[in-house]
Amino acid sequence: MKIKYFFSILLLWGFACLFVFFTESNVNYTPLQFEIPKGWPAPPNNIFTKNKLTEEGFQLGKKLFYDGRLSKDGEVSCASCHQQFAAFSNYDHDFSHGINNSFTKRNAPALMNLAWMTSFHWDGAINHLEVQPLAPITASNEMGEQLDSVLLKIRKDSSYKRMFKAAFGDTVISSQRMLRALTQFTGNLVSSNSKYDKVKRGEANFTEFEKRGYETFKIYCASCHKEPLFTDNSFRNNGQKLNRLNDIGRAAISNKKEDSLKFKVPSLRNIELSFPYMHDGHLYSLYQVIDFYRNDIDTAQTSLDPSLKRKIILSEKEKKELIWFLSTLTDSTFIKNKRYAPDGK
Amino acid sequence: MNRKKNITLLYFFVIVQLSVGVIFNSNAQNPSGKLKISLIHTVNSHLLRLNDSVYRNDFNETYKITKLKYYLFNFKLNDIPLYSKEGKYLLVNAEKNENVIEFEKINNGSYSSLSFEVGVDSADNCSGAQTGALDPLNDMFWTWNSGYVFFKLEGTSPYSTGDLNRLEYHLGGYKGEDALITKINLTNIDELGNPASIPVAGKKETEVTIALNLDCFWKDGKVSIKQNPICVSPGKNAKKIAACFSSLFSIKSIINH
């Protein structure tokens, strides 16, 4: 009698094991390792601790990034304003086009090395990469859509069902999963293979011109555009005048007067590709940028960064050398990387 | 062969005994008291009716309410944290028929105070995409300036200078001086106005009803609708309006079934 009980319990246990085995083995994640390029610091916060990085999650994120259905009219995808050939900035646009012929109020920045950033957008308004997509999706001058409508649309698509299952274990399509998948894509856009990087790794050499440009850079620019990411993630006023949209930058978020006209220091990687420049894209070339730093810094502003109060004196020759150096930050493998392209694996 | 069988049997009984022991033990240690908290909303001592009722405040301004949603968390009895299966946050929505949260495993006793916090604790404001009460689908997350709206009050008033006479308070903020997370400490009061305890006993569930009294927003000495029809971002203004949080709630009734 007792033995009978024993065996039935054993049998139950066996079924339970089989069940667990089958449900587990149905899901075949391919874990991805987030690699920190040689000589770079570790990201300040690991955005992939709760959001486990997998090939399936990355591919799903990529599909979402290139999908116009995230917008109200079906026409505007993330990639409309963030184009790979322009290092995921908006090529040749000071402001970008949103739905219904609207315009953004700021310049679309290049997207790269986001995992090392501590805040997002020019004013740092966004505190986590996972919640960043909520801003463009819902803004009336960007994608103009509502989160629940986006989910309704993508739930109807059987290929999404398949991909959510592959990435997260079942076909549930929730806001968190969608946002996390997008983060797996954007957080993986790492640009670390420019000539500058090769020189640092001992695989290439600067020309004399570039070398002198690098020296100038270290004197005047590197305090804010800090190597190797070419930003120190801080908010600074680099002396531009208040623009026609009265964009006061960080102060609108922090509610602090002293933050007026401060913007997040942008990375200068791929800078050649991401023109026009500054938060409102009003400078069209690197020549204009250097001329701005030489001649046009508005020293009357109280929040101007102390390091820019003294005039930067550069000869025409030094200016050219500096631009040669900045060109070594272009990473052609990044803009050609098939993994980031809509059709490539 | 026989011996082997005996050993497996023995092994089996040991396991059964162990698990029975665990169940019994946990029963002995686990307190069994239950508490159910429900929220109701009133204006001038009447139950709030969304959309159609017209109310009048202490500044003699008329208004209607169309939406009322807010977060509560960190419920405690006498500073002892309460546990709920439903999660950390209660998102109250006046549109719903009832807004309740149930707690279990409370020690029997009579408690002198019930406390909770209004808002979303600062870590949860910056931990990325969340689910449940904190899912951005609940329309309580600021998309353009990360962080949760802790308290959302919307309506209309002819005294509002805002677009379409809108009355709109989206109150929140978790950083530094702008932080709005507010601790509320309620004591129970008997018919004579004296402090009374909140009993939790045995298997009977204690039901506490908390009333949120909307008049508190525009009581004398505070900000009128005319002065302050719209506030939709963290900052000084939000703090000024949210100063009323501390007098917004009161214990309406306690029932011990």
The pLDDT confidence band at residue B140, using thresholds 50, 70 and 90, is very high
Where residue A327 sits, what CATH number does that domain have?
1.10.760.10
3-state secondary structure B14-45: HHHHHHHHHHHHHHHHCCCEEEEEEEEEEECC
The alpha-carbon gap from A80 to the nearest alpha carbon of chain B, in Å, equals: 20
For residue B23, the model assigns a pLDDT of 47
- Substitution target from A46, A47, A138, A175 for chain B, most B beta carbons within 10 A: A175
A166 & A257 share domain:
no
ipTM of the shown complex: 0.89
A21 in a domain, yes or no? no
A184 & A48 share domain:
yes
A311 & A234 share domain:
yes
Arithmetic mean of pLDDT, A280-285: 97
A62 & A168 share domain:
yes
Percent of chain B with pLDDT over 90: 76
- Which residues are registered as beta bridge partners of A225? none
Radius of gyration in angstroms for the set of CA atoms belonging to chain B, rounded to a whole number = 23
The pLDDT confidence band at residue A345, using thresholds 50, 70 and 90, is low
A173 in a domain, yes or no? yes
Is the separation of the CB atoms in B57 and B103 below 8 Å? no
> Does the distance separating the beta carbons of B135 and A151 come in below 8 Å?
no
Query: Of A142, A161, A191, which marks where a domain is finished?
Result: A191
A160 & A237 share domain:
no
A157 & A235 share domain:
no
Three-state DSSP class for residue A289: helix
- CB count within 10 Å of CB A343 equals 6
Instruction: Quote the domain boundaries for residue A241.
Output: 195-332
Hey, what long-range contacts does B87-94 have (CB within 8 A, 24 or more apart)? B87/B132, B87/B133, B88/B124, B88/B133, B89/B120, B89/B132, B89/B133, B89/B134, B90/B133, B91/B133, B91/B138, B91/B140, B92/B39, B92/B68, B93/B68, B93/B69, B94/B41, B94/B48, B94/B50, B94/B65, B94/B67, B94/B68, B94/B69
Q: Is B130 on the interface with A (CB under 8 A)?
A: yes
A222 & A286 share domain:
yes
How many domains does chain A divide into? 2
Q: Is the peptide bond before B229 cis (omega within 30 degrees of 0)?
A: no
For residue A322, the model assigns a pLDDT of 98
A295 & A203 share domain:
yes
A83 in a domain, yes or no? yes
The alpha-carbon gap from A125 to the nearest alpha carbon of chain B, in Å, equals: 5
Report which of residues A29 and A178 the model is more confident about: A178
Chain B residues in contact with A126 by the CB 8 A cut-off are 145-146
A45 & A174 share domain:
yes
Q: Is the peptide bond before B81 cis (omega within 30 degrees of 0)?
A: no
For residue A5, the model assigns a pLDDT of 72
Report which of residues A42 and B30 the model is more confident about: A42
A227 & A181 share domain:
no
pLDDT tens digits, B16-70: 554 544 444 444 457 889 999 999 999 988 999 999 899 999 999 999 999 999 9
A162 & A94 share domain:
yes
For residue B201, the model assigns a pLDDT of 87
For residue B3, the model assigns a pLDDT of 54
A50 in a domain, yes or no? yes
Report which of residues B12 and A300 the model is more confident about: A300
pLDDT tens digits, A233-277: 999 999 999 999 999 999 999 999 999 999 999 999 999 999 999
Does pLDDT of B13 surpass 80? no
| Average pLDDT in chain A | 94
CA atoms within 13 A on the CB side of A58: 18
Q: Rounded to whole angstroms, how far apart are CA atoms A42 and A30?
A: 23
Sorted by sequence, the CB contacts under 8 Å of residue B230 that are 6+ apart come out as: B160, B162, B166, B167, B168, B169
Q: What is the DSSP letter of A296?
A: I
Select the residue of B9, B144, B175 nearest A139 (Cβ to Cβ): B144
Q: Is B128 on the interface with A (CB under 8 A)?
A: yes
The alpha-carbon gap from A217 to the nearest alpha carbon of chain B, in Å, equals: 33
Length of chain A equals 345
Q: Rounded to whole angstroms, how far apart are CA atoms B129 and A177?
A: 8
A299 in a domain, yes or no? yes
Three-state DSSP class for residue B212: strand
Query: Of A148, A176, A191, which marks where a domain is finished?
Result: A191
Does pLDDT of A24 surpass 60? no
> Does the distance separating the beta carbons of B135 and A125 come in below 8 Å?
no
pLDDT tens digits, B75-114: 999 999 999 999 999 999 999 999 999 999 999 999 999 9
Q: Is A46 on the interface with B (CB under 8 A)?
A: no
> Does the distance separating the beta carbons of A134 and B136 come in below 8 Å?
yes
Arithmetic mean of pLDDT, A200-216: 98
A137 & A169 share domain:
yes
Q: What is the 3-state composition of chain A as percent helix, strand, coil, each rounded to the nearest 5?
A: 45, 5, 50
